[in-house]
Amino acid sequence: MMRLLLLFVALGSLSGCIIFDKKSETTTFLQFKSPATEAQKLEPAIYVVRPNLPSALRRPNIIMLTPEGEAVIDDAHRWTAPLERLMAEAVANHLTKLTGQATTLQAPEKSFVTLIIDVDHFELIPPKKAVLILHYHFEQVDGTSIAGGQGTWIEPMHELSAREFVDAQSQNLTKASAAIAKTFQNLPVPSSK
């Protein structure tokens, strides 16, 4: 009985302990740069679905893919959240700034259009450039596709580092969001059915 009591006391005292290794002490967390802006128009909201990404990118580490299929994994730099969520948030913030329209990452109850993004490439190209290639389309509430587009955006990097890659891809997302905003502004008024 005494041993059991000592075991519980020992387990209880250790539960609050966190052990850090050298790797976790030097980890830097990164995210995309995007503006925080208040919406001017609430309806129809733009529901930004998390983008579809190549499976190799779905990791907490910053992964820089090359066109040859090589993956450069930087263990010292990680995303602050899942990459697809960070991309959706950045695009949503840019769209609100560029269009004045409310954006959301969860399906709203009132009038909205859905933005679906498929990322084809999110990688490095020689000599030191970050490339973003994606397709996107808007759907009405009933799932009817109403408009879309695609694009390639390339941003130079000063050096081959995770931080430079994230900064360059932030610029690419800004440019991609501008194209998406232009498509949105040319949409017919959506049905609220």
Q: What is the pLDDT of residues 5-24, one digit of tens each?
A: 555 555 455 444 444 444 45
Q: What is the pLDDT of residue 69?
A: 73
Give me the chain's average pLDDT, please.
84
Q: What is the pLDDT of residue 191?
A: 42
Determine the average pLDDT of the residues in 57-67: 82
- Span 24-185 CATH architecture: 3-Layer(aba) Sandwich (3.40)
Query: Where would I find the H helices in 83-186?
Result: 83-99, 162-185
Q: What is the pLDDT of residue 6?
A: 52
CA distance 184 to 178: 10
Which residue did the predictor score with more confidence, 44 or 155?
Answer: 155
pLDDT category at 184 given cuts 50, 70, 90 is very high
Q: What is the pLDDT of residue 14?
A: 47
Number of helical (H) and strand (E) elements in the chain, helices listed first: 4, 8
CA distance 38 to 13: 46
Residue 112 phi, psi (nearest 5): -155, 160
CB atoms within 10 A of CB 98: 18
pLDDT category at 64 given cuts 50, 70, 90 is confident
CA-nearest of 45, 72, 44 to 57 is 72
Which residue did the predictor score with more confidence, 57 or 69?
Answer: 57
pLDDT category at 172 given cuts 50, 70, 90 is very high
Spell out the domain ranges in the chain.
24-185
Determine the average pLDDT of the residues in 166-184: 96
Pairing state of beta strands 71-79 and 28-30? Answer: parallel
Question: pTM for the full model?
Answer: 0.81
Q: What is the pLDDT of residue 4?
A: 52
pLDDT category at 27 given cuts 50, 70, 90 is confident
